[in-house]
């Protein structure tokens, strides 16, 4: 299935830069009218703040676009904030629009692209031994809201045959049934998202309360590292 085959497919006119640093994977992509021009995907684990801006700068025209779509999480607290900080800094430098999308929605869309228009359970590594879980129907609408759950509770809560995400194989094993797609989010697949996945409310989706209070100063990206900034 391609994005164009879905009546709810995302509309991406002009140039769009996609940023996804919410998980261990870090990826960027540049689209023109919904078609991928260039992109990069790296499994970093850590070090997103150091790698992200150079990855963007290596794109055509240093990644400059009128629209920036950034992953909102859930995932790593630091990774989510790094992506949002980069998107906001670039938007300020370029006069661009910032939009956000849920990480789980992209993973579900990637699974549907492989399996067809079927319901998908997404299971991702959370904190303190828990998993982030969410359910989607065959066209990407949420059927079970985002939650952070113990593995046994996550297995009991999900009934979808197709399971995607970093804990897909573990969830299928715990249930004893299902089809697992062990995948991480990839900004190069942004165009697979349903039309209503992008939001102007680009605020973090942490999926659970933070372990500690955040510092007063927000994560920032040095101005001299921003492509196109003066």
How far is residue 70's CA from residue 190's CA, in Å, rounded to a whole number? 10
Residue 229, pLDDT score? 59
Q: Which tens digit of pLDDT belongs to each residue from 131-172?
A: 999 999 999 999 999 999 999 999 999 999 999 999 999 999
The DSSP H or E segment spanning 110 is: helix 103-115
DSSP bridge pairs for 164? 122, 181
Average pLDDT of the chain to the nearest whole number: 90
Residue 6, pLDDT score? 46
Q: Kindly list the strands in the beta sheet with 131-136, ordered across the sheet, starting from the edge strand earlier in the chain.
A: 142-149, 131-136, 120-125, 162-164, 179-181
Determine phi and psi for 124, rounding to 5 degrees.
Answer: -125, 155
Q: What is the CATH number of domain 104-181?
A: 3.30.420.40
Annotated domain spans of the chain: 3-103+186-225, 104-181
Confidence of residue 209 (pLDDT cuts 50, 70, 90): low
Smallest CA-to-CA distance from 78 within 128, 41, 26 is with: 26
Domains 3-103+186-225 and 104-181 agree in fold: yes
Stretch 76-80: mean pLDDT, rounded?
92
Domain 3-103+186-225 adopts which CATH fold? Nucleotidyltransferase; domain 5 (3.30.420)
Over 50: is that where the pLDDT of 4 sits?
no
How far is residue 186's CA from residue 65's CA, in Å, rounded to a whole number? 19
Residue 1, pLDDT score? 37
How far is residue 124's CA from residue 148's CA, in Å, rounded to a whole number? 9
Over 80: is that where the pLDDT of 114 sits?
yes
Residue 10, pLDDT score? 86
């Amino acid at each position: 299935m391609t994005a164009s085959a879905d009546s709810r497919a995302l509309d991406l006119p002009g140039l769009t830069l996609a940023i996804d640093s919410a998980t261990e994977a870090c990826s960027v992509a540049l689209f023109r009218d919904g078609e991928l021009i260039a992109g990069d995907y790296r499994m970093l684990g850590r070090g997103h703040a150091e790698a992200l801006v150079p990855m963007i700068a290596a794109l055509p025209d240093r990644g400059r676009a009128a629209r920036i779509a950034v992953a909102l999480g859930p995932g790593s607290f630091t990774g989510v904030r790094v992506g949002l900080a980069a998107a906001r800094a670039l938007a300020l430098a370029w006069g661009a629009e910032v939009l956000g999308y849920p990480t789980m929605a992209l993973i579900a869309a990637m699974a549907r692209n492989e399996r067809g228009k079927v319901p998908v359970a997404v299971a991702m590594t959370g904190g303190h031994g828990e998993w982030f879980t969410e359910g989607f129907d065959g066209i990407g609408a949420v059927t079970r809201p985002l939650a952070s759950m113990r593995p046994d509770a996550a297995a009991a809560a999900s009934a979808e045959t197709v399971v995607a995400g970093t804990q897909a194989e573990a969830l299928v094993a715990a249930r004893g049934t299902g089809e697992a797609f062990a995948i991480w989010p990839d900004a190069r697949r942004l165009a697979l998202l349903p039309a209503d996945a992008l939001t102007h409310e680009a605020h973090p989706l942490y999926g659970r309360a933070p372990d500690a209070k955040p510092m007063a100063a927000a994560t920032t990206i040095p101005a001299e590292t921003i492509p196109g900034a003066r």
